[in-house]
Structure 1
Amino acid sequence: MAGSIVLTLALVFSLFSMTMFYFGYRRDEQAQKYLKFARLGYHAMAMMVIVASTLLLYIILTHQYQYHYVFNYSNSDLPLGLLLSTFWAGQEGSFMLWILMTTLIGIGLQSYTEKRGDLEPRVMMVYTLATTFLLIMVSPMMKNPFAYIWQGESPFIEVKYFNQQLLQSLAFIPNFLFGNEGGNPTHLKIDREFMGNLAATQYQLSDILVLGKGLNPLLQNFWMQIHPPILFAGFSAATVPFAFAISALIKNDYQDWVRQSIPWVLGCAGILGLGIMLGGYWAYGVLGWGGYWAWDPVENSSLVPWIVSVAAIHTMLVQIRTQKKDPEKGRYLITNIILSVFTYVLVVYSTFLTRSGILGDSSVHSFAEPGRTVYIFLVIFVVTFTGLGFGMVLFRLKSLLKISKAGEESTLSRELALFMASFTLGMSALIVFAGTSAPIFGIKVEVDFYNTMHVPLGIILMAINGLSIILKWKTTDSKKMKADLLRTGAITAVISAAAIFIGGVDKVMMILLLVASVFALVVNGEVMIRIMRGGQNKLGAYIAHIGMALFILGVIGSSAFSSEQEIDLEKGKTAKVLGYDVTFVGLEPFQENGHTKYHCKLDVKMGSSSSIVKPVMYVADFNNSLMREPDMNYGLLSDFYVAPVGFDDGMQNPDGDAMTISEGKEISAAGVQIKYKEFIKPDMAAMTTDADFNMGVRAIITKDGKSVEKDLLYSRIGGKMQADPVILDEFGVTLTLKTVNPGDKVATVIVADKDGNTSKSAPKEVLTIHASIKPMINLVWAGVLVAVFGFVVSTVRRLKETQQMQ
């Protein structure tokens, strides 16, 4: 109750502050008085948000499971770090995190704008509109993190979460117990009537409800504690360029807004880029599919605003350059306004995609269906900020067109190169946006679509990356440019030829991408060394460009040069796996967070070097699914990546042979061939509640040239997981789906002949692994860190420049 009141007060103060900033922009004797009220209102709102966040953290740390959010995402078995991370594990908490980050950034923004004329009321008026919308999202009528458990969607809670002794001792409890067909109680109904009966006793709900559902096993990772806060800080920072753009349109004054805004755009791009790639590193180290970017719609939805923010930086630099010579002009002004607006609008749109439930069957990252009211409000959220941004652009279009006219650029100019870079980034954003939005219309976009479209764009971007540094502002001396190109081209040719020869690259597009990336690396590296010798501090852009070139080289190496193999490893025997000698030593049980897990111990040798790799397998209590965690033999030039697929303990299964199979693969057993055609996706909303759902494998079974397609389903019915055997009389076999993991889509199928006989001869322990070698993967991580450092350096430089404008 206290938390809900505090959030309501925060919303009231946010509305008050926004109104006062509006009146504070009026140029009369009352303006300063309104501004004082506006600042007080904003700081009061900020204090309420901090208090609400502290209260949410308190009820999580003290395990107050009577709160719906705490019950659904935490439990007492979690270590402190992961327990803290449950703050942002669900919809309500992640909105709270977003609000908290937005509020804290707003404090700095208010101080920044206060010192710059009438900028404060214009910018903060728009900024507090964003905080108001976010606060409405966590208000009592929406996704309130302080809602009690009996206010949730389903009043039925499994009895395993309750104090069993109290359940048996309280006389009214049987009236609220519900069970299965056998009459055994499985769920307790917690509603207002139950709470009325409980109030008549000496107990509170917290005395009876003693366990929480806990954190999804895929989220129980160190990076869960770091990745979301950084990502949401990036989302929050994206609000600032939007506010600056709208403030310029409000006043119809465009002389200084880009120089005032660009430090915030740089900061937004750096933070958001870091957050995105931390998510990629998390996927690489935990999910077990050997990659770091799957072009998942939810992943893409955060990538698009980042691409747009980077595009904005390039054209903003041109406007700053042109306005130094003529403050009344501004090259690419309209482009910069639109890109600044789009950066935040696309963040809001990504929120709609992620939280509306519209991607429920298309992304493993999306939240469950939030309900009709929240869905409608999310639509209003998107429409409001899109309408505000583009409505203001149309309103001021005549003035914008007049100021934007600054003549044509020379073909050999840095201005044109920067515009082309921005345009190419815009094309990338458009492609990802289209693919990400396609599921709304029932269209499934494959990963190959993104890869195929982005290789040529990557070639163009890396080429422009280098050329934009060689080219000069306004125009470039052709002889000087030719000399620079000959020198850097020769170095590029030598390095590229060596890389192509050593790596054995034979695909034309990959060769071109590699050459373009090396060219960008050489040009920026040469200029950076020259600048450092001169003692100048304008290194940010070159560092960021070098980082992106390293990143692209890492992408090429880890994808084009990657090799993989799936193999069965019999315990105690050594097998050759991608050039390594790998021995399965055995399973080693260990305890983590109160649960038993198993290290699959592998002895990995290459020549005289030896290492131990320990991927993990376990059955999660959270969803009764087999979970797999990869492990790696890390190397400077490449990683040997091992993901467990399945384990056979060698004991005869009374129902048949347990066979592990991955999507797209084929196995043979009991005289038939079974091809795993595709994964049958479950209803994501049902999976996150107690509702029934089906998931499974669509398989093609072949024998003697005859094939048939069947769905092998694994279902939850009435709270219990079960699988229905598929009997194929014509083939003489019975197939039963034992387990399937919706994360990596690996399935275990029981195969038996019509008499229930298996094909095994002697018991033996066999571990199935998927191994891969990831060359130059470290360049991906190093490239991102170098690029982010470049953004930091550029941000500091631009902030110093704005201080000189005061």
Structure 2
Amino acid sequence: MAGYLLIILAFIASLLAAGLFFRPQGARRGRHLYYAAALCITAAALWLLYLIFTERFEFAYIFAYSSRNLPLLYKFSAFWAGQEGSLLLWALLHSLFGLAMIRRQVSGRALGVFSLLQVLLLSLILVKNPFMLLPESQTDGWGLNPLLQDPWMAIHPPLIFIGYAGLAVPYVLTIESLLSNNHQAWREKAPGWLLLAWIFLGSGIFIGSFWAYKVLGWGGYWGWDPVENASLVPWLAAGVAVHLLSLARRKTVAVGAAYFAVITMYLLVFYGAFITRSGILRDFSTHSFGEEGVGGLLGFYLLLLFAASFLLLIWRWPRLPGGHSVGQRGSAFALIAAAGTLSALAFLVFVGMSVPVFTWALGQAQNVHTDYYNKGTLPLALLIAFFLAIAVQGEAAARKRQWWLALAAGMTVVILGIYYGWNLSPSLVGMGLAAAAAAVNMVAAVGRGSSCPAALAHTGVALLIAGILASAVFSRSEQIFFRPGEAIRIFGKELCYLGREGSPEAKIMVYKFATDGDRARLDATTRYDAHGREAAREPAIYRGLAADIYIVPAANGGAEEGKEAQLARNEVVVFEDLTVKYLRLYLDGEMGTGNMNIRAQVEATRNGQTEQAAPELVYSPQVITPKPAYVFSDYEITLAAVYPGTGKIGLVVKNIRTAPLQAEVSHKPLVSLVWLGAITIVAGTSWAWAKKHRLPGKYTRFWIERRILRPNCRKI
């Protein structure tokens, strides 16, 4: 109960701090109470980590997401694997941003609004308690889902939640500015916080895409999963806010639109949390929290924030600064164009991810097909690439050179695409536009102007668009049957299947490949749960600059080649040097219930050695699933059928070392541009943030003064 008590204390301290921050003379005591709240949240988080690492399985959360044999890194990741822990992580990061705001001497009113948001987050944790005790103590836990047992699990969620927590800062600065009518200070302070949160949220999204690319069942690097979209839409909305805030600093006419964008951006964070934690998406997403948790409370908070924020904006709208309209040329128009296209993209994705919510409210939750996103985003991608190509500013002579450079780059890509057999389609035209945009922005990025960071980020966007179009539209796949040791040339690469290692009983199966005469070794991995069922699959990927080769073995290896036999009790089947004898049959469960297991006890003999195994048939209401057994590490025995009238069973015996393998081999061109574009976007936005805060010059001067000048100064 210590952890829950700390959350209660943090809730009370945050609530009192919020009240004091709104009082003219209460800022000092408000800060002290906020420090206490942040300390309690930090202590609660450390206490939860301690419970995980000390294997306290009497706590429901630790029992559900950790186990004794879980590696250390994944025990750390178990902290945020479930609803309760991820909410605590969000509250912890939120409180740390509050400490940073106090250090930056943000106004008391803004800190008051920020503390109220912290109260909302803490109330969610009070409802979804990570410190709940089980009725009975347990000796071990269920462990982390095998899909989540990946090093990226330690990085991806924290980055996403840093972004969510960081977006609260520009939001509360917006509310404070509307309350105080101090628009100039807001235009100076908000962009830095917004850009920082945008960097972290974008980094988390890109890392999540890289992770999803190597996990089968997640739809590739972007599957338009509603939970993926729940983080993408706030990031796109934050991009709109970044561009409108940049415009508002030059043109006061954009202040109102910038206020609207920042408010909408943060409301979308709460909306995303609502749809992922309400249980609505349990049938449509591989990432959502399956159980209903705090969806109702989040929905109420969302409506509350929506009403309060927009009523305040409507009230202040007549007093917002005006100005001359933005022209149809120049950097101001480019910012408007960027904000407009990003807004359209965000709205398109928002509608798609909201369909399950709207249809659920009407009685039957349904989802949109991925074609909705693919067809809808293509024209917007072309429009974004076009605006990026023409948005670079400069002198007339420089612009003329840029036009020629853009034309040359775009035409080169289109001609090369046609030469390599790609159809002249909107996607190829989009790649040409993206190449043109990348070329002119790359030249601008290496210049000396103030817009170099933006040009670098825009180069990344262009590369990202080109990589997505190429890999999504011009990808090719073939079904291949491999035999161990056999080399097959496909998509310009020689692939040799070396065989497989492991078994479901060992909870892992590795399919081994080599490329181009053993120059590179590739592994496709299947992980199994404690019941021998497939839990996570990773393809073998040969990564190249021009294209990736993506090898996906069929489920259970496919391409069956073994010996099938019908056996009565005590009869045997001989396969290679293995003799298998059927002993008896067991039934777990009741006939007709739809949930039962049938196990065949068999005895396998090889070279005078004997092992026993029990292949199963697992019956569920919808499907019958065979669960093979493995003997001598090389042989798989599958219970294929049961014949009640004759008392016989059907067995299939297979040598998994020599059995052929069926696999889908895909050629994914220019996927490397997706990752290069993502890195370049993060680098450009990070450069812009550092430049805004003068970090390179500030720390260089600090280092020179402290390390070089001061040690050499003598007292006189």
Q: Report the counterpart of residue 614 of structure 2 in structure 1.
A: none
Whether contact under 8 Å (1:13, 1:42) holds in the other structure is yes
Shift of 1:739: 7.7
Distance 2:108 2:58 in 1: 42
Once residues 543 and 419 of structure 2 are traced to their aligned partners in structure 1, the CA distance between those partners, rounded to angstroms, is 21
Matched residue type, 1:416: F
User: Which residue of 533, 549, 572 corresponds with 1:624?
Assistant: 533
Corresponding residue of 2:133: 148
Q: Are 1:276 and 1:302, in contact at CA under 8 Å, matched by a contact in 2? A: yes
**Residue number in structure 1 paired with 2:679:** 785
Note the alpha carbon deviations across 1:190-241, whole angstroms, 9 max, x for none: 4xxxxxxxxxxxxxx3xxx211000000000110111111111011111111
Q: Match for residue 713 of structure 1?
A: none
1:104 aligns with 2:96: yes
Contact conserved, 1:258 with 1:320, CA < 8 A, in 2? yes
Query: Structure 1, unaligned stretches of length 5 or more?
Result: 25-30, 151-189, 191-204, 323-329, 657-691, 695-719, 727-735, 741-747
Distance 1:693 1:798 in 2: 64
Deviations 1:663-720 (A, max 9, x none): xxxxxxxxxxxxxxxxxxxxxxxxxxxxx999xxxxxxxxxxxxxxxxxxxxxxxxx9
Alignment of 1:468 with 2:391, yes or no, is yes
SS in 1 for 2:480: strand
Q: How many Å apart are 1:383 and its aligned residue?
A: 1.1
Query: Is 1:341 equivalent to 2:263 in the alignment?
Result: yes
- Of 520-529 and 610-619, more deviation after overlay is shown by 610-619
The one of 22, 25, 36 aligned to 1:44: 36
The equivalent of 2:370 in structure 1 is 447
State the SS of the aligned residue for 2:686: helix
What SS does the aligned partner of 1:459 have? Answer: helix
Calculate the aligned-residue CA RMSD, in Å: 3.1
1:308-319 map, 5 Å: 308-319=237-248
**What secondary structure, in the 3-state scheme, does the structure 2 residue paired with 1:614 have?**
strand
Q: C-alpha distance in 2, partners of 1:490/1:752?
A: 69
CA distance in structure 2 between the partners assigned to 1:577 and 1:487 by the alignment: 38
Q: Specify whether residues 138 and 538 from structure 1 end up closer, same or farther in structure 2 by C-alpha distance, changes over 3 A only.
A: same
**Distance across 2 between alignment mates of 1:378 and 1:791:** 31
Matched, 1:387 2:342: no
Q: Which residue in the other structure is 1:128 paired with?
A: 115
Q: Is the 8 A contact 1:550 1:780 kept in 2?
A: yes
Quote the residue 2:162 is aligned against: 233
The structural deviation recorded for 1:761 is 12
- The corresponding residue for 2:619 is 722
Aligned ranges 1:291-440 → 2 under 5 Å:
291-322=220-251, 330-371=252-293, 374-400=294-320, 403=321, 405-440=322-357
Tell me the equivalent position of 2:171: 242
Q: What is the CA–CA distance in structure 2 between the aligned matches of 1:223 and 1:499, rounded to whole Å?
A: 36
1:562 aligns with 475
Does residue 705 of structure 2 align to residue 796 of structure 1?
A: no
Q: Aligned to 1:602, which of 513, 516, 521?
A: 513
Q: Which residue in the other structure is 2:428 paired with?
A: 511
1:18 aligns to what? 18
SS of corresponding position for 2:243: helix
Deviation at 1:249, TM superposition (A): 0.7
Structure 2 counterpart of 1:767, from 656, 661, 669: 661
Q: CA deviation at 1:651?
A: 3.6
How many residues are paired up?
630
Shift of 1:486: 3.7
Distance 1:262 1:567, change over 3 A: same
CA distance 1:261–1:448, change in 2 (3 Å): same
Residues 255-270 of structure 1 mapped to structure 2, 5 A cutoff: 255-270=184-199
Give 1:125 deviation, angstroms.
1.2
CA distance in 2, matches of 1:387, 1:40: 30
Partner secondary structure for residue 193 of structure 2: helix
C-alpha distance 67-758 of structure 1, shift in aligned 2 (>3 A): closer
Instruction: Give 1:561 deviation, angstroms.
Output: 2.6
Q: Distance in 2 between matches of 1:796 and 1:611?
A: 40
Distance change in 2, residues 1:58/1:8 (3 Å): same
8 Å Cα contact 2:230-2:353 kept in structure 1: yes
Counterparts of 2:172 and 2:428, CA distance in 1: 43
Give, as a single letter, the amino acid of the residue that structure 1 aligns with 2:372.
Answer: F
1:222 aligns with one of 123, 144, 151: 151
Shift of the alpha carbon at 1:574? 3.6
1:358–1:369 CA contact under 8 A, matched in 2: no
Q: 1:288 deviation in Å? A: 6.0
* CA–CA distance in structure 1, aligned partners of residues 416 and 551 of structure 2: 26
SS at match of 1:63: coil
Distance 1:757 1:575, change over 3 A: farther
Task: Report the residue type matching 2:679 in the other structure.
Answer: L
Segments of structure 2 that go 5 or more residues without pairing to the other structure are 360-364, 568-592, 596-616, 629-637, 699-716
- Alpha-carbon separation, structure 1, partners of 2:456 and 2:83: 37
Cα distance change on mapping 1:421 and 1:766 into 2, 3 Å: same
**What do the CA deviations read for 1:649-668 (whole angstroms, capped 9, x no partner)?**
64445689xxxxxxxxxxxx
Provide closer, same or farther for how the CA distance between residues 480 and 331 of structure 1 changes in structure 2, counting only shifts above 3 A: farther
Identical pairs, percent? 29
Q: Distance in 2 between matches of 1:319 and 1:149?
A: 54
* 1:546 and 2:459 matched: yes
The amino acid across from 1:553 in the alignment is A
Contact 2:227 2:287 in 1 (8 A): yes
Report deviation, 1:559.
1.8
| Correspondence 1:586 to 2:573 | no
Deviation at 1:723, TM superposition (A): 4.2
Name the SS of the counterpart of 2:223 in structure 1. coil
**Partner residue, 1:697:** none
Q: Is the contact between residue 290 and residue 772 of structure 1 (CA under 8 Å) also seen in structure 2?
A: no
TM-superposed deviation, 1:576: 4.2
Contact 2:60 2:130 (C-alpha < 8 Å) held by counterparts? yes
Change beyond 3 A, Cα 1:350–1:724 = closer
C-alpha distance in 1 between matches for 2:622 and 2:118: 53
Which amino acid is 1:565 matched to? E
Residue 129 of structure 1 and its aligned partner are, at CA, apart by 1.3
Say which of 114, 117, 140 aligns to 1:211: 140
Q: Structure 1 752/508 Cα, relative in aligned 2: closer, same or farther at 3 Å?
A: farther
SS in 1 for 2:184: coil
Distance 2:425 2:475 in 1: 17
Q: Which residue of 2 aligns with 1:640?
A: 549
1:504 aligns to what SS in structure 2?
A: coil
Q: 1:253 aligns with which of 176, 182, 187?
A: 182
Q: Is the 8 A contact 2:194 2:242 kept in 1?
A: yes
Instruction: Give the CA deviation at 1:3.
Output: 0.6
**CA distance, structure 1, for counterparts of residue 148 and residue 275 of structure 2:** 20
Amino acid at match of 1:266: L
Q: Using the alignment, how far apart are the partners of 1:751 and 1:556 within structure 2?
A: 47
Question: Partners of 1:359 and 1:17 in 2: how far apart?
Answer: 36
Partners in 1 of 2:497 and 2:269 — Cα distance? 46
| Superposed displacement of residue 120, structure 1 | 1.4
Q: What does residue 525 of structure 1 align with?
A: 442
Q: Aligned pair in 2 of structure 1 residues 627, 761: CA closer, same or farther (>3 Å)?
A: closer
| One-letter amino acid matched to 1:307 | L
Distance in 2, matches of 1:362 and 1:510, equals 28
Give the structure, 1 or 2, with the largest relative contact order (CA under 8 Å, sep 6 or more).
1
**Aligned partner of residue 446 in structure 2, secondary structure:** helix
What SS does the aligned partner of 1:238 have?
Answer: helix
How far does residue 103 in structure 1 lie from its aligned partner after superposition?
1.0
Q: Normalization by structure 2: what TM-score?
A: 0.82
Counterpart position of 1:664: none
